[in-house]
Amino acid sequence: MSDLILAGGTVLTPKGLEETDVRIRDGLIAEIGPGLEGDETIDCGGAWVGPGLVDLHVHFREPGQEWKEDIESGSRTAAVGGFTAVFAMPNTDPATDSGHVARYVSARGTEVGLVEVLPVGAITRGRAGKELAHLDELWAAGVRVFSDDGDVVADAGLLRQAMDYLAARGGVISQHAVDVGLSSGGYMHEGSVSSLLGMSGIASAADDVILARDIRLVEMTGARYHVQHLSTATGVDLIAGAKAKGLPVTAEVTPHHLAFDHTAAQTTDPAYKMMPPLRSEDDRAALRYGLEIGTIDIVGTDHAPHAAHEKEVPWEHAPNGVLGLEWAAAVVNTFTDLDQSAFYDRLSVAPARIGQLDGQGMLLAEGGRANLTVFDPSIEWTPSTTVSKSQNSPYFGLPLQGKVVATIYQGTVTARDGIAVS
Amino acid sequence: MNHFLTIEGLPADDLNGLLDDADEFVEVLHRPIPKVPALRGKTVATMFFEPSTRTKMSFEKAAKALSADTMSFSPGTSSLSKGESLKDTVLTIKAMGTDAMVVRHKATGAPWRIAEWIEQPVLNAGDGAHQHPTQALLDSLTIRQHFGTLEGLKIGIIGDIRHSRVARSDIQAFSTLGAEVTMVAPRTLLPVDAAVFDATASEDLDEVLEDFDVVYVLRVQAERGGASVFPSLSEYTDRYGITKERFARLKPEAVVLHPGPMNRGVEIEGAVADDPRALILDQVFNGVAVRMAVLFRLLGGESNE
Amino acid sequence: MACVMDTGDMDRAIRRIAHEILEKNRGSDDLVLLGIQTRGVPLAQRLALALEGIEGSAVAAGSLDIGLYRDDLDQRPKMELGATSVPVPIGGKTVVLVDDVLYTGRTIRAALDALADIGRPSRVQLAVLVDRGHRELPIRPDYIGKNVPTSRSERVSVRLVERDGEDGVVIESREAT
């Protein structure tokens, strides 16, 4: 029987942080304690050892757009980034609006075996915003998070129906909160940079008005509500207010909204184009602070691959979205002051809890499932490549602090030092 | 200077240097044979992904007056309509052999993308509502010819500044050259964040009109869907049109510029456009000279080898 | 570094050339002097003054920039354009091109091209302060201030009060290129 030892790291356990060793056997955490020996040892000296990272927001493009990414390449990218579970958004072709597409996505994830792939179900049929998707069928296929991501559920009446339908079971509505009227025709944050460039902007209010509306619907329906990729300071305040009222509301921020503000868009390089757009320096500061104090619950990458030829176009013609999985952990460590516990909370424990995912996001204890990520916060590096099928990274050339050293999924090493193990 | 993409950040010395050269090309254009051999053997490609007959003709005239050959690309009849990407189009035309590309594109930053793909100089002939740097040069030259300098002049730019690349380039050029610029428009046509420009903003033309030495009238871009940014053309004309009455209230030495094409009776009354103090045709003539200056600066000399 | 002309030499040369121009053209009627940018321009002005001093009537003098007519644009650093200013129409006139140093003849070739675009003079003549030889084109000056035999590795530098604060012609040797 093969034993894997994680030696000498700072281990995040229910009792707190311990500098110790971890024995992994049969997909489980077999033993935690000093001086362990086994068949294979990973030196974790100086590194953090915690639960495998969980991403509540990725786009793996399969089925339908496999030239950008597929479940295999996406899984590989996730493993390199330290993730052991990802929630794949339903804006595929066909959309994940029925049980069979959902079952396909999770089965394909299991087949690849590098990371647990959880399908997010569409709220509306074909994500068209007109009528409810097959919510029961999706639920039966294991879907717990529902979203029309890529598009907002604009019709408040329809959203209310979905909330009412899912509230009792505890399904999560994950909203891409952008008002259509305020954002249509806009290509970047409305502010000084858009004014200088003469580009039509998307006011921060485009996000805020939907969030405020939805919070009111949560108050009415009691449904669990998660707001994706929060990008505005006002949004952080709205979430804080909703939480103060005790509403079942959670929030997410992307790595790129922590790393950049709209001045990065001034080059009109489509590597910085996404929805919601990079916003002002004040927004960015509020997002960082919100994540640090826990108003924002999680980091979700919104990993959105697009082929090179799709991004090698002028800004307005480029699709929205950037890669994120490989650098999320390092970006969070570089641009926020999260300590080890908070780091794993925002990147693993909280997203697993919101996604109602068993066996992931658990503090390390003997007998627990061996989904682990080793992160060394002291490594300084500058990304220049990716294992994704696509190349649309805004982080190439950006110095980062901290790196995923090893990813262990179901007791097996899936990535070491930036290289996926197949 | 490897490309000519934007006025933003160009120091006054550089602007004046180009205008000085343009003065010499004005002289060339007044010769019996208005053509010099400076760029013999060079090829300039004019690539107007957004149609613009006058700017394209002006660049072609400038290239030809420098003895460069020209080739032109127009999207209507091209492979773009067959789905070819911008990058492939650019690389295809580069492979034919061109020494410079003059690019007009409705997407912001398109000339910058192209400058990443080819090593030849790229001239921005207008991108989105962002920059139109040769327009700013020709406007500056026209004003400098008339007043001798822009230093201390009060220039009002009136109209759809929010969606105007001419306005952006002009404001930056005029203010760099020492003029005091006022943007005049209803709030829906001013930049959302007007503070990024070295200019003041006013929504009331009649309050500021009499200060101006230069009134720069922007075209009402009806194709932008005027209805959503102001109530009607006639209401726009009432508040912001340069009518005979408003023209009469200007300082006696003040001049009027317009980048063309004009909507007579909307942003400018016909009689004003035809007044000797409207320098609109001078602007057109100077356009050729400044484009010669820019082409010569980019292509005439060893650093482009 | 050798000084081959001082300010007195230059004055005398210009006066002599003025006399030669008048002799050859039987007076100063229909004469237009065009100095080639940059140092030909003040020389043309001086020549015009000398002619006026002799004849008592003003002679038109202007400037010609040949930067746009060079055949070696690709091999030279970028240059600022100088002014071309032709004071009167040159059709039917006698144009005297004025330059400081005649060397390969390529500048004069460019000047003749420029002139052809500006008008059609009845005659074109060439006056230079220094002829240093090494012609690469069939061009011969009509008026010469001084013949200065040089080697190609030497540089002839004309300094004028108007531009350089002092008058004089010096030969400098430079590293063979």
Range of the domain at A223: 52-354
Spatial contact of A183 and A206, defined as CB atoms under 8 Å apart: yes
Which of the residues in chain B have pLDDT under 70?
Answer: 77-83, 222-228, 302-305
Which structure tokens are listed for C121? 């003079």
Query: In C, which residues are within 8 Å of B18 by CB distance?
Result: none
Interchain pair B8, A196: CB under 8 A: yes
- The answer to the question of residue A296 being in a domain is yes
**Average confidence (pLDDT) over A71-85:** 98
- Residue in chain B closest to A203 (alpha carbons) equals B192
Interchain pair B302, C85: CB under 8 A: no
- The answer to the question of residue C93 being in a domain is yes
CATH number of the domain to which C107 belongs: 3.40.50.2020
- The answer to the question of residue C131 being in a domain is yes
Q: Which residues pair with C131 in a beta bridge?
A: C102, C147
Q: Comparing C-alpha atoms, which of A189, A360, A371 is closest to residue A272?
A: A189
Please state which CATH number belongs to domain B133-280: 3.40.50.1370
Exposure of A33 in the CB half-sphere (CA atoms within 13 A) = 6
Query: In C, which residues are within 8 Å of B20 by CB distance?
Result: 80-81
Instruction: Tell me the percentage of chain A whose pLDDT exceeds 90.
Output: 98
From B21, B31, B304, residue closest to C118, measured CB to CB? B31
Sheet of C143-147: strand order equals C60-64, C31-36, C94-102, C123-131, C143-147
> What does the pLDDT read at residue A103?
97
> What does the pLDDT read at residue B303?
47
Torsion of CA B158, B159, B163, B168, to 10 degrees: 0
Spatial contact of B186 and B151, defined as CB atoms under 8 Å apart: no
From B86, B131, B191, residue closest to A314, measured CB to CB? B86
Q: How many helices (H) and strands (E) does chain A have?
A: 14, 19
Interchain pair A313, B85: CB under 8 A: yes
Spatial contact of B129 and B162, defined as CB atoms under 8 Å apart: yes
CA–CA min distance C160, chain B (Å): 24
Interchain pair B195, A192: CB under 8 A: yes
What's the Rg (C-alpha) of chain A? Answer: 20
> What does the pLDDT read at residue C72?
80
Query: In A, which residues are within 8 Å of B113 by CB distance?
Result: 268, 312-314
CATH number of the domain to which A196 belongs: 3.20.20.140
What distance in Å separates the CA atoms of residue A299 and residue A346, rounded to the nearest whole number? 6
Q: Tell me, what's the ipTM?
A: 0.91
What distance in Å separates the CA atoms of residue A61 and residue B31, rounded to the nearest whole number? 64
Q: Is residue A356 classed exposed, middle or buried when 0-12, 13-18 and 19+ CB atoms within 10 A define those classes? A: middle
Residue B156: what are its φ and ψ, rounded to 5°?
Answer: -100, 125
- The answer to the question of residue C122 being in a domain is yes
Q: CA B288 → CA A295, B138, B145, B297, distances in Å?
A: 59, 8, 15, 14
> What does the pLDDT read at residue B85?
86
Same fold, B12-131+284-304 and B133-280: yes
pLDDT in tens, A170-190: 999 999 999 999 998 899 999
CATH second-level architecture of B12-131+284-304?
A: 3-Layer(aba) Sandwich (3.40)
Number of domains in chain A: 1
Number of domains in chain C: 1
Instruction: Tell me the percentage of chain A whose pLDDT exceeds 70.
Output: 100
Whether B13 contacts chain C with CB within 8 A: no
pLDDT in tens, A366-389: 999 999 999 999 999 999 999 999
- The answer to the question of residue A89 being in a domain is yes
Catalytic site positions of A: 302
How are the residues of chain B apportioned to helix, strand and coil, as percentages rounded to the nearest 5? 50, 15, 35
**Average confidence (pLDDT) over A223-244:** 98
pLDDT in tens, B102-115: 999 999 999 999 99
Give the DSSP per-residue string, A142-168: T--EE--TTS----HHHHHHHHHHHHT
pLDDT in tens, A285-299: 999 999 999 999 999
The model's pTM is 0.90
pLDDT in tens, A126-140: 999 999 999 999 999
Interchain pair C80, B303: CB under 8 A: no
Q: CA B106 → CA A270, A284, B124, B130, distances in Å?
A: 16, 30, 11, 9
Q: CA B218 → CA B160, B189, B260, distances in Å?
A: 6, 11, 8
Range of the domain at C116: 28-152
Whether A199 contacts chain B with CB within 8 A: yes
From C77, C84, C116, residue closest to B301, measured CB to CB? C77
Residue C48's identity, in one-letter code, is A
Phi-psi sector, A163: left (phi>0), alpha (psi -120 to 50), beta: alpha
From B87, B110, B130, residue closest to A198, measured CB to CB? B130
**Average confidence (pLDDT) over C69-84:** 80
> What does the pLDDT read at residue B223?
62
- The answer to the question of residue C143 being in a domain is yes
Coil vs helix vs strand at B37: coil
